[in-house]
Structure 1
Amino acid sequence: MVAPTTIKEHMEVIGSDGVHVGIVDGLEGRDQVKLTKDDADAGGEHHFIPLAWVDHVDESVHLKQSGAEARARWKTH
């Protein structure tokens, strides 16, 4: 699993297919990545994805799922 400390605010989140999923707003607890609500795909709501979905982090957060799959399964609080 990726260390949560490697995920920083304002990093782009990208699906395994290279599709933009969102922008990191921060971490929620120890196992959720909170995405900004201002992103075009967010619809004005914060969305949360499990840290377990993260494949790796470089200048962006890369997911194990495609962009469409991540958006279909993300959660709102």
Structure 2
Amino acid sequence: MTDTSQIREHMEVIGADGVHVGTVDRIEGDRIKLTKKDSGAQIEGATGAHENHHHFISTGLVAEIEGDKVRLSATAANAVTFEEEGDE
């Protein structure tokens, strides 16, 4: 299991395929809160209203931390299907 305590604000979150998913705002419990402005809206195949609110990715999807990048175990397109949305 990856040590998620290494995840820091402004780290890039990428899928297993290297595609950008979002940018870390902070860790909340067992979820990564992505910034509003960069929260996966640009991923091809993403559906729903992905703008103007935060999205969350489970830390259970983290495969590894590589420098300033958080790599997920799912591709970017699949990771967005696991995202939770928030109003904050």
Q: TM-score, normalised by structure 2?
A: 0.80
Per-residue deviation, residues 38-72 of structure 1 (Å, max 9, x unmatched)? 11624111111111100000220000000001112
Count of equivalent residues: 76
1:45 aligns with 2:53: yes
In the other structure, the counterpart of 2:45 is: none
Q: Distance in 2 between matches of 1:54 and 1:4?
A: 8
Identity of aligned residues (%): 45
Q: Distance in 1 between matches of 2:77 and 2:17?
A: 9
Q: Distance in 2 between matches of 1:57 and 1:15?
A: 12
Deviation at 1:33, TM superposition (A): 0.6
Residue segments in structure 2 that go unaligned for 5+ positions in a row: 42-49
Higher Cα radius of gyration: 2
Q: Secondary structure at the match of 2:84?
A: coil
Amino acid in structure 1 at the alignment position of 2:74: Q
Structure 1 runs, 4 residues or longer, greater than 6 Å off? none
Q: Distance in 1 between matches of 2:21 and 2:52?
A: 14
CA RMSD in angstroms, aligned pairs only: 1.3
In the other structure, the counterpart of 2:32 is: 33
1:56 aligns with 2:64: yes
Q: TM-score, normalised by structure 1?
A: 0.90
Amino acid in structure 2 at the alignment position of 1:56: E
Residue segments in structure 1 that go unaligned for 5+ positions in a row: none
Q: Distance in 2 between matches of 1:72 and 1:34?
A: 15
